[in-house]
A = this chain, B = another copy of it.
Amino acid sequence: MASRIPAAVLAATGSVGQRFIQLLDGHPWFEVVAVTGSERSAGAYYGEACHWVLPEPMPEWAKRLKVTATEELDMDLPLIFSALPASVARTAEPEFARRHAVVCSNASAFRMDPYVPILLPEVNPDHITVLDRQRQVHGWKGAIVTNSNCTSTGMTVALKALQEQFGLRKVLAVSMQAISGAGYPGVASLDILDNVIPYIAGEEEKVEAESCKMLGHVAEGQIRPAEFQVSAHTNRVAVSDGHLVCLSVELERQASVEEAGLALQAYQAPEPSRDLPSAPCPVIAVRSEPDRPQPRLDRMAGRGMTTTVGRLRPDPLFHLKMVVLSHNTIRGAAGGSIYNAELLYSLGILG
């Protein structure tokens, strides 16, 4: 693995940053050579600076990396994974894109830029074609590619399979989201034990906008959002990992439960995204038991990259009801960014 592409992880000490480190351990194409953290942790070894919250042990190589401040990172790295908060990402990520780095970002800062794809390789790899215009418009030699909000991810994968076959008109989505989605320390235990918090700041707006953008198309070098309507309610529940979403969907062309099940089950990632190291297998797992998916039992399907759909049934108001589960820090965050980088690499855009 001598010739792996050197990469940095920004905000590597946080909970999504840790997932990047854990998932990149032994990656065949990418090698983490630098990690950044807050000023407080800059200068320390990652093994000391990081309060590791994952059950998987911290890789030995990671312990020995020196944490640098994000603004002091070597600017010539070709690949940047960003777990920065949006406010910091807004100024820091373009610094890297301006040089020749490709930034695979988990931050929301540039997601709604019409020249920046919110990329799900199994859904919209064609959105990569906007990168040329992105470079022109922003004057970047590199690029920024984002992954979606962790709640939008799973539902968009499921909706794509339905959109392709039947078209989409209306989507009502109600999430029950894991605490790891709020980072670390994140949600206070007093707020979530024996409780539900029916509010996550900014989340409903993201879900409503991002799913339409991801399911849209590229025209004149821009991403044009799809025109179906989305309404989202987002809630925090006492689950460690795995976002569950109840969906009510109205299609353009009505489908039976059986037809929808077949469409979901048969859905395949477009060609360039299929055989990448992080590609989900299957893309969508359809469960027929009455009480699945469940976060504790299904979040690790396909090593955390598969979207699980269950409880497909008719909806008295719309056409279909279903429940979708996706691992929020793997498919919905770090794993998604890595999958994006793999797609870019396989297409020759990176490195």
Residues of chain A in range 181-235 having any CB-CB distance to chain B below 8 Å: 184-199, 201, 208, 229-231, 233, 235
In the complex, chain B residues whose CB is within 8 Å of the CB of A276: none
Q: How far is the CA of A181 from the CA of B32 in the complex (A)?
A: 40
Q: How far is it, in angstroms, between the C-alpha of A134 and the C-alpha of B151 when the chains are bound?
A: 50
Q: Which of B195, B201, B248 contacts A296 (CB 8 A)?
A: B195
- Is A239's CB within 8 Å of the partner chain B? yes
Bound together, the chains give a CA A237 to CA B240 distance in angstroms of 13
Residues of A within 8 A of B (CB): 15, 53-55, 170, 172, 174, 176, 179-180, 184-199, 201, 208, 229-231, 233, 235, 237-240, 244, 246, 248, 290-300, 310-311, 315-318, 321, 323
Cβ 8 A contact of A197, one of B185, B198, B229, B291: B291
- CA A237 – CA B310 in complex, angstroms? 17
| Residues in B whose Cβ lies below 8 Å from that of A55 | 296-300
- How long is the Cα–Cα vector from A234 to B163 in the complex, in angstroms? 25
Chain B, residue nearest A180 (CB): B190
Q: Are A316 and B193 in contact (CB under 8 A)?
A: no
Residues of B within 8 A of A240 (CB): 190, 193-194, 296
Question: How many copies of this chain?
Answer: 4
Contacts of A294 in B (CB 8 A): 195-198
Contacting pair A295 B231 (CB below 8 A): no
**Would A198 and B238 be within 8 Å (CB), given that A172-B172, A231-B316, A246-B174 are in contact?**
no
Q: Quick check: A315 and B231 within 8 Å, CB to CB?
A: yes
Q: Are B244 and A198 in contact (CB under 8 A)?
A: yes
- Chain B residues positioned under 8 Å from A170 (CB to CB): 317
Q: Which of B196, B292, B300 contacts A295 (CB 8 A)?
A: B196
A238 contact from B180, B238, B244, B311, Cβ within 8 A: B238
A316–B54 Cα distance when bound, in Å, is: 34
Q: State whether A230 and B316 are in contact (beta carbons under 8 Å apart), knowing that A55-B297, A188-B185, A188-B187 are contacts in the complex.
A: yes
Contacts of A295 in B (CB 8 A): 194-196
When the two chains form their complex, are residues B317 and A229 in contact, meaning their CB atoms are under 8 A apart? yes
Q: From B196, B238, B310, B315, give the contact of A194 (CB < 8 A).
A: B238
Most buried by B among A15, A198, A310: A198
B296 with A172: CB separation less than 8 A: no
A199 to chain B, nearest CB (A): 4
